[in-house]
Chain A
């Protein structure tokens, strides 16, 4: 089936007596002409990559720009010291930071839906997986649920900062994560939709304004707000709270807001935080260090070429 409306996926699930995630799985099988096992395996690879990225994170790495690194570790240590939002929430925050940093530090991540927003989904899935001793099977179901939501958003609106601002990246990731959480806690199809609607509503209008054009500031910490918002939206939906505006309409509205965002707030690094005095200073620093590095590299490479020596400059 075409993954172009939440309502239709839910209707299909009801009609066929299946769950939301099964409809997504079957759509993938049909689309790519693969077996159920192959589709599940591919999703398992994504899940394992997320878990591994979390396990190998130490907080020691720094990004090429020097802007990021180590914050996930700080938050992780703080989680044991009676954090305000409780230990679980602190773990969610720590995981979101760790994953965003891993991306910035050129480690392996799963774009979900984008590399910039790669921390949102694992930030809610991994702590819950450990706390509640969930089965891997369940996690894959949750990830298919999330992918279906992302596919609808990509179809009806957009999922890139350049097209629709950060609401399209972190907002979409947050809606995907909220849906995954509702599924993991045994929520209904209609609760999934309400969670999606609420998560996306809460982040509507968010600008994409990366400092120096790099996926670091504010991106890494935006993964935190995406994750925490997902937990809140899922809890609200599970509590029986409904979104007054249906999910598909919220998604359409997000797309519309995205189109109206000025170019300066869509990944061009010309507005918002990128245009603050500090943001601009970072950009200038990067430009001058780049020049130094570039000149050295070229000279080095030329010299080595002439000398016919192996190139090993850094």
Chain B
């Protein structure tokens, strides 16, 4: 079913929904997943992002998103200057990513506490995005849902703990997937839900044995 406001809208800073609005959303997603203010960002542009990115302001849009701006923020074109004031250091490079969508980017981020994160994402059209890799693990989620990203040790099965916690809060699960980099490696659970997960449930899940980290991405309007 087509959303009427996908036809009339979104409200966005131009020029391109895939190369500008989508790039802002990728930056914002990365900031959320990092869970803190980024202080350093290495940006690797792939495919059409590398080729026509400058003309479309893709570079500025990515930094704008990392600074937390929304897709309709008029400061997107000034993001480099604002990054300077907010002490976010960044660099750009062109790269070839394997088996990646033409509009892809890899971000290597360092947060203010020193936390590091690697994310690869693609802008798949109309401003919609897909996170393809997180800290080296192949994943696939879009941010079209509220999303829990749970990292846990492989030898612990937390699936039932997590689903119990979610059903406790009557949160409806739309999609659920498990990913891991190698056999015996840490596991990443991606859970997309129809409703946002209440804070106390996120905390509850965090406290379960074997859970390393829980990030809750709240869908944007």
Contact = CB atoms under 8 A, between A and B. Distances in A.
Contact of A108 (B6, B11, B51, B59): B11
Given A108-B74, A216-B15, A305-B91, A146 B54 contact: no
Contact of A294 (B4, B57, B92): B92
A65 B58 CA distance: 13
DSSP majority for the A interface? helix
Contacts of A297: 59, 91-92
Nearest to A152: B2
Contacts of B126: 114, 160
A248 to B, nearest CB: 15
B133 interface: no
Given A31-B4, A147-B7, A214 B90 contact: no
Given A114-B17, A215-B14, A107 B90 contact: no
A107 B13 contact: yes
A49 B92 contact: no
B93 interface: yes
A49 B71 CA distance: 14
A314 B10 contact: no
A314 B60 CA distance: 10
A234 to B, nearest CB: 18
Contacts of B6: 154
A294 B54 CA distance: 9
B32 interface: no
A289 to B, nearest CB: 8
A157 to B, nearest CB: 12
B8 interface: yes
Given A2-B1, A215-B15, A115 B8 contact: no
B52 A214 contact: yes
A147 B4 contact: yes
Interface string A100-121: 0011111111111111101000
A151 B7 contact: yes
Contact of A304 (B13, B85, B89, B92): B89
B2 A107 contact: no
A293 interface: yes
B135 interface: no
Interface string B41-58: 000000010011011110
A126 B81 CA distance: 34
A68 to B, nearest CB: 9
B8 A112 contact: yes
A133 interface: no
Given A160-B126, A314-B80, A111 B15 contact: no
B7 A215 contact: no
A3 B2 contact: yes
Given A144-B4, A290-B54, A301 B14 contact: no
Contacts of A42: 5
A214 B15 contact: yes
B13 to A, nearest CB: 5
Nearest to B71: A108
Most buried by A among B2, B14, B16, B17: B14
B17 A115 contact: yes
Contacts of A43: 5, 8
Interface in B1-46: 1-17, 20-21, 40
A65 to B, nearest CB: 5
A286 interface: yes
A108 B92 contact: no
A43 B3 CA distance: 12
B84 A310 contact: yes
Interface of B: 1-17, 20-21, 40, 48, 51-52, 54-57, 59-60, 72, 74, 76-77, 80-81, 83-85, 87-94, 125-127
Of all A-B residue pairs in the complex, the 8 with the closest CB atoms, nearest first, are A312-B84, A103-B14, A150-B7, A301-B91, A213-B52, A147-B8, A215-B15, A106-B77
Interface of A: 2-3, 24, 27-28, 31-32, 42-43, 45-46, 49, 63-65, 102-116, 118, 143-144, 146-148, 150-151, 154-155, 159-160, 162, 176, 212-216, 286, 289-290, 293-294, 297-298, 301-302, 304-305, 310-314
